[in-house]
Amino acid sequence: MAFEGLSDRIDAAFKKLRSKGSLTEADVREAMREVRLALLEADVNYKVAKDFTNTVTERAIGAKVMESLTPSQMVIKIVHEELISLMGGTNTRLANAAHPPTVVLMCGLQGSGKTTHCAKIALHLKNKGHRPLLVACDIYRPAAIKQLQVVGEKVGVPVFEMGQIDPVTIAKEAIKLAKDQGYDYVFLDTAGRLHIDEALMNELKAVKAAVKPHEILLVVDAMTGQDAVNVAGSFNEALGIDGTVLTKLDGDTRGGAALSTLAVTGKPIKFVGLGEKLDELDLFHPDRMASRILGMGDVLSLIEKAEQTIDEKKAMELEEKLRKNKYDLNDLLEQFSQIRKMGSIRDTLSMIPGIGKKMQNVDVDEKMFDRMQAIILSMTPQERAKPDIINPSRKRRIAAGCGMKVEDVNRLLNQFRQMQKMVKQMSGKSGARRMKRQFGNMNMGGGPGMPF
C-alpha cells in the first residue's frame, strides 16, 4: 500500500510528542528531523522535504496552542495542513472547453500506463454522461494501436486510428470526426520512449502546435520514485504540462512522487491509478491523501466508492426486508457481492478513521467472502430462503458441494442467526441501546468466520 512506510515513520515521530505533557522547541525540532528522514526515505525530493519541515517547525514553534488541543495535536494539525498545501490544496479537475471537443494530450514514458489510463479517464467521464473518443497516435510501439482498441472496447469507448501514418495527421482527423459526431472529449494516446530524447519531444511539440490541446496530462509511474519527479520536470520544461496522472499508487511505492511532483513542476496531480482494473481510478484529493498518510482515514472516498458500487434500488429493497424481518441468505449473498465490488477489504477498512493503523498488524483474509459465497451457492434456493430447514444431512451435502467442512457451514449459519437477532432487536423498543451493547461486544480482532 502506498505511503505505508511513510505513515509508520511519521506516526512513530508523533508518538514521542504525544507522550509529553508540554513541548519545547527542541522536541518540535527533533520530531521534524524524524519527519524529514521519513520523507527522504519515501523518495521525496530533498529540497521539498527540507522546505516542508522548516515551514512546519516555524509554524509549530510560533503557534499559540488552541484551547481544545494538546501541544502534540497542534503540531499534527500543522503537519496535516502543510501536507495538503504541498500536494496542491484542492483537487483540480480536467479542463472543459467552451466549444467541444476538449482535446487532452496524454504523454509519458513507455511503460508508465499511458494507454490504460487513457481508457480509465475516458470511462470516468463516460460514467458522468460525457462522450469521449480515444485516438491512437502511438505509431511506433508494437501492438500499441491494438492495445488501445482492446481497452477501448472494455470500457465501451470508441477508438479512432489511421494506422502507422503521421501522428499529427491522425490527431487532426480525429478532432474533425469528434466535432462532426458530437464527441465532447478527445484523448490523444501519444508515443512514449524508454527515456526522454529529442525525437520524442519534437513529435509531441508538433502535435501540440497542430491541435492546440486544452489539457496536457503527463502519466507518471509512481513506482519509479524520485525519477518520476525528474521525468515530470523534463516534460514540463519541454511541453508545459497542465497536470499529472500518477499510476500504480496501490503498490508498495513509497509515495514520494505524489508529495514532490507539484512542488517541482508547479502542476497538480489530477488523477491517481489505484489498480490494474479499468475502473480503479480516483480524482486526486490532497486533503484526503494527507489524512490517509497521517492515519486519519478517508471517509469521503469510502462514501464515494460505496455510492459507485452499491445498487441504490437493491439497497432500498434490502432495507424493506430488514424492516419486515424477511432477510434471508439470498440477501446476504447479494451483500457479499456488493462488498467485493468495493475492492480490497484492507484498503476499504483503512479509509475508516481509527481503523487504518490497527489494520497494519491484522491478518486480513481477503478470500473469506469468497468462501462464504461458495457455501451459500452450494445450497438449494429453498435452503437459502429458509435456513432453518438445514439439518445435519443437508449441512454435510452443502459442505461437500463447496469443498469445505461442516464446521464452516455451521459458522456461517450461526453468524447469519446473530445478524437476524440484531435486526429484530433494532425493530423493538430501546433497540438503539441494545444494538450499541451488541456491537460493543463484537470481536473485531479475528473471531471465527470474520474476514479479519
Q: Specify whether 287 is located in the same domain as 340.
A: no
How far from the centroid of its chain's Cα atoms is residue 340's Cα? Answer: 15
pLDDT in tens, 353-395: 444 555 455 555 667 778 888 999 999 999 998 898 999 999 9
Kindly state the percentage of the chain with pLDDT values over 90: 31
Domain boundary among 249, 265, 296: 296
Domain end position, chosen among 86, 120, 141: 86
Residue 35 maps to which CATH number? Answer: 1.20.120.140
Greater pLDDT, 146 or 282: 146
Same domain, 123 and 191: yes
CATH number at residue 371: 1.10.260.30
Which residues are within 8 A (CB) of 296 and not within 5 positions of it... i.e. 6 or more apart? 80, 353, 356
Query: Of the ranges 81-90, 239-248, 263-272, 427-436, which one carries the lowest mean pLDDT score?
Result: 427-436
Most confident of 258-262, 319-323, 419-423: 258-262
pLDDT of residue 399: 94
Residue 178: how many other CB atoms lie within 10 Å: 23
Q: How far is CA 25 from the centre of its chain?
A: 37
Same domain, 168 and 61: no
- Asked if the structure places residue 93 within a domain, the reply is no
Residue 40 pLDDT:
85
Give Cα separations from 9 to 16, 55, 201, 254, 295 (angstroms). 11, 19, 39, 12, 11
Among 60, 86, 112, residue at a domain's last position: 86
| CATH number for 216 | 3.40.50.300
pLDDT of residue 313: 67
What are the backbone dihedrals phi and psi of residue 102, each rounded to the nearest 5 degrees, phi first?
A: -80, 120
Q: Is residue 449 part of a domain?
A: no
Average pLDDT over residues 285-308: 64
Is residue 451 one of the residues assigned to a domain?
no
- Is 179 in the same domain as 151? yes
Mean pLDDT, to the nearest integer, of 66-87? 75
- Report whether pLDDT(2) > 70: no
Same domain, 79 and 165: no
- Total count of domains within the chain: 3
pLDDT averaged over every residue in the chain: 79
pLDDT per position as a tens digit, 120-169:
999 999 999 999 999 999 988 878 999 999 999 999 999 999 998 999 99
- What is the domain range of residue 291? 102-296
User: Torsion-angle region of residue 53: left (phi > 0), alpha (psi -120 to 50) or beta?
Assistant: alpha
